Each structure stands twice: as C-alpha cells, then as structure tokens.
C-alpha cells in the first residue's frame, strides 16, 4: 500500500505544503535559508516555490528577507458555507434594525484581501443609503473597514493591509491611523462622516467571534431623516446597532456580559 501511495507523489506540491505547514507554526517568519534548514533541504530548492507562493498570495515577505503566511488560507476557510450561515443568522436582526432605526444597514467581512459586503438591508421608508451585495469597499476610509481592522491584533492588521494593498490601493498609513483603530476598539464602535457621500455618517460595530476578533462589521450609513415620525437620532441608532452586534456576537459564541 505504501509503495502504491508513493507512485502518486507530487514532489512540488509536497514542497509547497511543507513550507505552508512550517510557516503556520512560526511567529515572525523565516528566511529562505532557515526554511531549508528546518526542512532538511538545500535553500536553492525553495526559491521558485517561495516565489510562487508569494505571487499567489499565500506567503508574504517581511523585513526584506523573511517569509510569513498571509491570511489567504484563513480567508479561504471562511468562504461559502460559513459566510452563508453568518448571513442567514444576521438577516432577521438586520431587518429588525432597519425597521427600528428607519435606516439601511450592511454586513461586511474581510475575504482574501478585500472588504466585501455580504448582506444588505434596505431602509423601510423612501430614503436610505444602500450598497450592493458583493461590493468591495475600502479598508482605510470606511466605518466597516476601520471596524474590521480595529478588532484584530496589530500583526493581523498589518497582514490584512498588506493583502488589501496588493490588490491596488497603496496609501501611506501614519501612526495616527493605528491610534484611531485602538480608540475604536476601546469604545466598541466607529462613528465617522462618510468619505464617499456628503451628509452621511458611518456607524459601525463588530460582530465578534469567541476569540474577540471581528468576523464581520455591521454598518448603518446614517442620514438625518426630516419629516419622518419617530425616527431615532444618531445616538439612539448607534445604541440599537451596538445591541444588534452584541446579539450576533453571542450567536457566534461570545459570552454575554454579566447582568448588573
């Protein structure tokens, strides 16, 4: 049986999987020579394989000569069924939030280097801001993007930014940007004027997993509704949004806060 298994070996694939499995165990990455030493091979054997893994987005270069895994494998693991399940759970909560706030809302996840809208709920009245499901939005100047980054470790933030930037957007991020992310995490939400539409405020809060990392961001593009009876103001809307994301986080396995 063992001889039969050996007949179907794919050495190049084995080599790539060896690299991925090794890097998955290491914080801070490894050089090409360190990878070769740990796997008992010549460094020259890994040059082309590392180049392909970098080009395909599974591995990234850090500090010039060190290689580290990206979040691409994590993103692939989250696709399809988990996203559909998240949307299925979130939809009735999003519908209720829209009814109570009189505002539209959308659910966004980080997937393979992009911030992607995976669900959207229209406002119940005539007026509201909506974004098409499947739209790719900015990590850097949207409430959803800020929230997805804020509720991750600094190492994960940098990996997400690197993956996102490789798809086309390359801004210079100052220390103030990361300070803002820390502030968002501390207060539990983002509130900011829209960088895309005048008169709109992005209210965004995280849907957290059991490890307290954001698995999604729920965002209300708030507009001031005039001549609409019983329309909540921006602070009431933010409170309802935060309550909704807490409920969704509890469904995802986060322990509810103790009753006072």
CA 221 to chain CA centroid, nearest Å: 19
**For 26-160, where are the E strands, in sequence order?**
30-31, 59-62, 66-69, 105-111, 114-121, 136-137
pLDDT in the model for residue 164: 80
Cβ atoms within 10 Å, residue 129: 20
Q: Which residue has the tokens 């098409």?
A: 132
Provide CB contacts within 8 A for 256, sequence distance 6+. Answer: 246, 250
pLDDT in the model for residue 89: 87
Burial of 53 (0-12, 13-18, 19+ CB in 10 A): buried
Spatial CA neighbour of 20 closest among 29, 10, 7: 29
Residues of CATH 1.10.10.10 domain(s) within the chain?
A: 2-69
Spatial CA neighbour of 110 closest among 183, 69, 162: 162
Question: Domain 76-251 adopts which CATH fold?
Answer: Beta-Lactamase (3.30.450)
Q: Are strands 214-222 and 201-208 parallel, antiparallel or unpaired?
A: antiparallel
DSSP-based three-state secondary structure for 192: strand
Q: How far apart are CA 33 and CA 119, in angstroms?
A: 45
Q: Which two tokens stand for residue 132?
A: 């098409």
Asked whether 98 and 138 are in contact (CB, 8 A), the reply is: no
pLDDT in the model for residue 1: 42
pLDDT in the model for residue 11: 82
What does CATH list as the number for 2-69? 1.10.10.10
From first to last of the 260 residues of the chain, give the pLDDT tens digit: 444 456 667 888 888 889 988 888 887 789 989 998 998 888 888 888 898 898 888 888 887 788 888 877 766 665 555 677 888 889 999 999 999 999 999 999 998 778 899 999 998 877 777 788 888 888 988 999 999 999 999 989 988 888 887 666 666 778 899 999 999 999 999 999 988 887 889 999 999 988 888 999 999 999 887 666 678 899 999 999 999 999 999 887 776 666 55
Asked whether 27 and 35 are in contact (CB, 8 A), the reply is: no
Residues of CATH 3.30.450.40 domain(s) within the chain?
A: 76-251
Q: What is the pTM of this model?
A: 0.68
């Amino acid at each position: 049986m063992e001889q039969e298994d050996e007949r179907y070996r794919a050495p190049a694939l084995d080599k790539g999987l060896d690299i991925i499995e090794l890097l998955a165990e290491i914080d801070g990455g490894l050089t090409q020579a360190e990878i070769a030493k740990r796997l008992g091979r010549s460094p020259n054997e890994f040059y082309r394989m590392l180049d392909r893994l970098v080009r395909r987005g599974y591995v990234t270069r850090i500090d010039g000569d060190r290689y580290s895994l990206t979040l691409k494998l994590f993103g692939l693991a989250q696709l399809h069924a988990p996203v559909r399940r998240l949307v299925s759970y979130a939809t009735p909560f999003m519908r209720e939030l829209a009814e109570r706030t009189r505002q539209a809302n959308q659910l966004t996840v980080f997937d393979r280097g992009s911030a992607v809208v995976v669900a959207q709920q229209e406002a119940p009245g005539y007026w509201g801001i909506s974004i098409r499901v499947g739209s790719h939005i900015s990590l850097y100047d949207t409430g959803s993007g800020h929230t997805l980054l804020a509720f991750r470790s600094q190492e994960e933030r940098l990996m997400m930014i690197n993956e996102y930037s490789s798809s086309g957007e390359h801004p210079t991020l100052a220390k103030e940007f990361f300070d803002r992310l820390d502030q968002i995490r501390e207060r539990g939400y983002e509130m900011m004027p829209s960088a895309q539409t005048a008169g709109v405020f992005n209210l965004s809060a995280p849907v957290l997993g059991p490890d307290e990392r954001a698995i999604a961001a729920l965002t209300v593009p708030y507009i001031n509704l005039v001549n609409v009876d019983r329309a909540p103001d921006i602070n009431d809307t933010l409170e309802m949004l935060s309550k909704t994301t807490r409920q969704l986080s509890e469904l995802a396995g986060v322990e509810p806060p103790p009753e006072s």
